[in-house]
Structure 1
């Protein structure tokens, strides 16, 4: 006689995934999304740079994008359309130098940058005494700041428009302060024609409040008072008192609303920037009309034609 056991089965529960926002509430256009991948074989350091760039482009990028040797540009383009991907960041390596191409899908233009120097995010963290990487640092897209590009040269205007369109636009009247966690800075040096590419984390500190008091309020940690005669020594004793970390009045702001337990709208707060990487030194070498193809509308070593309407 066959025996049947009543096995307890776990029901299948479909996971609930939060849909990403697809339309920019500021411009009304679709939110820019990106693929970061490579063409050709890359050494280990450039592979890590690729992962750092993917983290930098979060949350509107494919962090775990899978690549295969047989994949060509058309394969990525076929997937980009249904997923709403608007930009490609492509790393490559020649015998002389690595290159970064920034392309707008599906028809271009494409900007090709020579990478003169670069430092990985891990290198930046190792060089700092107190590296900072909060768990929600990459939850929201970074702010973008471009400096030195207003020289009037048409290819720099094109570069400005391209980088501005990579990240979602912000409305200073409605943006939440808690979402302003990172800033990407591009600084152009007209003498060397080089672009310094940096990424910083943003944090606010109340002016006139010591580090120990801030930690006490933020983490609710009980301080060690065994070596102190009185609780007032916790504030007044050397090393525990108010730290004049910010003397520049220009580095302080008044918040419109409270932010966290420490930063209050009634008090001034100091803006602190800490580099998180990656760091790159770029030089614009070429601008192509199409997606990694087509007429050359700018070349560092040749005649140039300008078609600014390509990015409008």
Structure 2
């Protein structure tokens, strides 16, 4: 469910699958529903796996999930979890780091994830629609991919947290214990709440965004993790949709004999599925 929510708004969030459903069932409805990719989770006795497949003819990337944390786990670990109502109204941005090694399987991984999310035009995109980011970082030494999902927020530089909340919410602050309204800004414990601004993380906006982020002032870009979080390892790339020739294997090339055996096993599984469907009918 976390992965479905991450892909919002272009995902089947309320899809209900049954145990008797097979890959053919989902592939038959993928075209009419405009589904371009499948994200398939599975689990064995050794580890969970994630398959990312392009419909209708592949390719398919198979990842071993070494570690993962659910969105609920991420939220529980944070002092102030952030999840506005409109956070999932627009698709996330995608950023890939460390994939430019020139290896074919990494190029396929880059293309696959870039095509999962809609492309953006930097000349026409609205800043208000850029609220989430998916980051994939490849470590060439460990061959692991860090998968992270963040929310994006902007804060005006040099403005305390209390002032920002006052401007955004239009709530009258409690001034009963203050001698003057200026104490609300200058008194220790109020004005000092402004976060330290990193010059590298500040930007000048091309347009006003909200009530506090203006083009005349610099704004700081803040990322807060939303989840889910995964550590992945690419172990196999197949030409087709969960089938076909193996383009890449972390454990060595697959011989033609093994390919033939895999195809025979797949055909046998399909015949068994058809037989079960006939029995159900």
1:155 touches 1:298 (CA, 8 Å); kept in 2? Answer: yes
Structure 1 length as normaliser, TM-score?
0.80
4+ residue stretches of structure 1 with deviation over 6 A? none
1:106 aligned counterpart, secondary structure: coil
Task: Quote the Cα distance in structure 2 between the aligned partners of 1:74 and 1:176.
Answer: 39
Deviation at 1:246, TM superposition (A): 3.5
Gaps of 5+ in 1: 1-50, 306-312
In the other structure, the counterpart of 1:255 is: 205
What residue in structure 2 maps to residue 212 of structure 1? 162
What SS is found at the alignment partner of 1:164? helix
Q: Does 1:140 align with 2:116?
A: no
Residue 240 of structure 1: aligned partner: 190
Q: Distance between the aligned counterparts of 2:78 and 2:193, measured in 1?
A: 20
Matches of 1:288 and 1:272 in 2, distance apart? Answer: 38
- Which residue is 1:274 aligned to? 224
Q: Which of 253, 266, 271 is the equivalent residue of 1:303?
A: 253
- Which structure features the higher share of helix residues? 2
Q: Distance in 1 between matches of 2:188 and 2:155?
A: 20
8 A Cα contact 2:198 2:220, kept in partner? no
| Deviation (angstroms), 1:243 | 4.1
- Secondary structure class of the residue paired with 2:109: helix
In structure 1, the residue corresponding to 2:191 is in which secondary structure? coil
Task: State the superposition RMSD in angstroms.
Answer: 1.1
Gaps of 5+ in 2: 256-281
Superposition pairs of residues 8-27 of structure 1, within 5 angstroms: none
Q: What is aligned with 1:33?
A: none
Normalising by structure 2, report the TM-score: 0.89
Give the 5 Å matches for 1:122-133: 122-133=72-83
Decide whether the 8 Å contact of 1:144 with 1:164 is kept in 2.
yes
Paired residues for 1:101-250 under 5 Å: 101-241=51-191, 243-250=193-200
- The residue aligned with 2:268 is none
> Residue 154 of structure 1: CA displacement?
0.9
Aligned to 1:73: 23
Q: Distance in 2 between matches of 1:207 and 1:240?
A: 16
1:293 aligns with 2:243: yes
